[in-house]
Amino acid sequence: MNTILAKAEQTHQLTEAELVRLLTDPDATVPLYAAADRVRQKYVGDQVELRGLIEFSNICKQNCLYCGLRRDNRQIPRYRLDGETILEFGRRAAELGYKTLVMQSGEDEAFSPERLAPVLTELKKLGVALTLSIGEKSREEYAALRAAGADRYLLRIETTDKALYEKLDPGMSWDNRVRCLRDLKELGYEVGTGSLVGLPGQTVESMARDVLFFQELDADMVGIGPFIPNPDTPLASADGGTFDLACRMMALTRLLLPDANIPATTAMETLQPDGRMLALQRGANVVMPNVTDTDYRKMYMLYPGKICLNDAPADCRSCVTDKIMGIGRTVSQNQGFRRKHRSER
């Protein structure tokens, strides 16, 4: 196993069988995390990128079985921020020092590119990089949003098991999701993808293929989160993923995509106190604190147990900064675009 890890650390290549071994062998845990931490240090350094997350609508036309925002969930009140409120949250985040804003929502058709474009243009005047995470759109819509100022896009593939994806995301097509990712790349976005870990019916082999998929796509960002069963969904009684397995997936992603931006995800911290700080020591280099007002946070319930529900944006920023400094790292002061190490890949 140490041979496999040494190879991964030097060549950034692993086979599916080797990935499965590292996902399952109990003896792999400690050396895998240490290798991912070294690769993170070598390629992206000790600075942690902070991205301010604005959850601007919890209205969704999709019905993903795992997600609390699914359209059939009648248990949550729905909201949609107007442009001025989004701008206000953006301004406050910029004042707090954020250099990147991530705008996330359900697939809310009211936010057409025509409606979003002026908001993006105004937000760009704050001198921030802009990331969108608003689901599947046509190539033309992605092009219009890019022209309006969006720099990056997050769209998790969720799982590379096509049959499982289409079972869990009824009415959606896995091929279309891949089409979206390819269009986004071609349009010049920095593209983030990622997967859920611990979905019912997900195999460890398919998780290994998830990591190979991120590498094949040459993803600029990869967010891995444990699946956390939501009581308001059809998967309420499923088992869910573990913190450890999510960390292994993340560490392997660092080994295969050494210069990618990899967040320590909020869902990880839901399962493990200080989980994001542990993740930062196992391959991650990004944290995405919430900059949405507390009134709305409670309604943006993808999964139960969401952290920091009652904290104001300024509190989240200082809390996360203190924790980052507490593990001997620093907060980046720039926009945190991916710095590709072409010669070493």
Helices (H), the chain: 2-11, 16-24, 29-44, 83-96, 113-124, 139-147, 162-168, 174-186, 204-217, 243-256, 266-271, 275-280, 294-297, 313-326
Residue where the block lists tokens 């019905």: 63
Q: Does 303 bind ligand SAH (CB under 6 A)?
A: yes
Rounded-to-integer distance, Cα 327 and Cα 6, Å: 25
Q: Does 69 bind ligand SF4 (CB under 6 A)?
A: yes
Among residues 73, 133, 160, 285, the one that binds ligand SAH under rule CB under 6 A: 133
Among residues 60, 81, 246, 260, the one that binds ligand SF4 under rule CB under 6 A: 60
CB 325 to ligand SF4: min, Å: 33
Residue 343, amino acid: S
Q: Which does 104 bind (CB under 5 to 8 A by kind): ligand SF4, ligand SAH, none?
A: ligand SAH
CB 286 to ligand SAH: min, Å: 15
Q: Does 107 bind ligand SF4 (CB under 6 A)?
A: yes
Among residues 52, 90, 113, 135, the one that binds ligand SF4 under rule CB under 6 A: 135
Among residues 67, 164, 252, 320, the one that binds ligand SF4 under rule CB under 6 A: 67
Residue where the block lists tokens 């799982």: 159
Rounded-to-integer distance, Cα 138 and Cα 180, Å: 7
Among residues 52, 106, 149, 258, the one that binds ligand SAH under rule CB under 6 A: 106
Rounded-to-integer distance, Cα 169 and Cα 162, Å: 10
Q: Does 131 bind ligand SAH (CB under 6 A)?
A: no
Is the CB of residue 100 less than 8 Å from the CB of residue 128?
Answer: yes
With contacts defined by CB under 6 A, name the span among 73-81, 87-95, 222-230, 273-281 that binds ligand SAH.
Answer: 222-230
With contacts defined by CB under 6 A, name the span among 99-107, 180-188, 275-283, 321-329 that binds ligand SAH.
Answer: 99-107
CB 8 to ligand SF4: min, Å: 31
Query: Nearest-5° angle of CA 281, CA 285, CA 286?
Result: 125
Q: Kindly identify the residues of this chain, within the stretch 318-337, that bind ligand SAH according to CB under 6 A.
A: none
Which burial class, exposed, middle or buried, applies to 77 when counting CB atoms under 10 A from its CB (0-12, 13-18, 19+)?
A: exposed
Q: Which residues contact 223 (CB under 8 A, 6 or more apart)?
A: 154, 156, 192, 193, 194, 262, 263, 265
Among residues 19, 28, 53, 155, the one that binds ligand SAH under rule CB under 6 A: 155
Rounded to 5 degrees, φ, ψ at 195 are -150, 165
Q: Tell me the number of residues near ligand SAH by CB under 6 A.
A: 18
Q: Does 196 bind ligand SAH (CB under 6 A)?
A: yes
Among residues 18, 49, 151, 158, the one that binds ligand SAH under rule CB under 6 A: 158
Long-range pairs for 313-319: beta carbons < 8 A, 24 or more residues apart:
313/52, 313/89, 313/92, 313/93, 313/96, 313/289, 314/96, 316/289, 316/290, 316/291, 317/50, 317/96, 317/97, 317/98, 317/289
Q: Tell me the number of residues near ligand SF4 by CB under 6 A.
A: 9
Among residues 213, 227, 243, 296, the one that binds ligand SAH under rule CB under 6 A: 227
Is the CB of residue 152 less than 8 Å from the CB of residue 191?
Answer: yes
Among residues 62, 85, 242, 281, the one that binds ligand SF4 under rule CB under 6 A: 62
Residues of this chain that bind ligand SF4 (CB under 6 A): 60, 62, 64, 67, 69-70, 106-107, 135
Residues of this chain that bind ligand SAH (CB under 6 A): 66-67, 104, 106-107, 133, 135, 155-156, 158, 196, 225, 227-228, 230, 267, 302-303
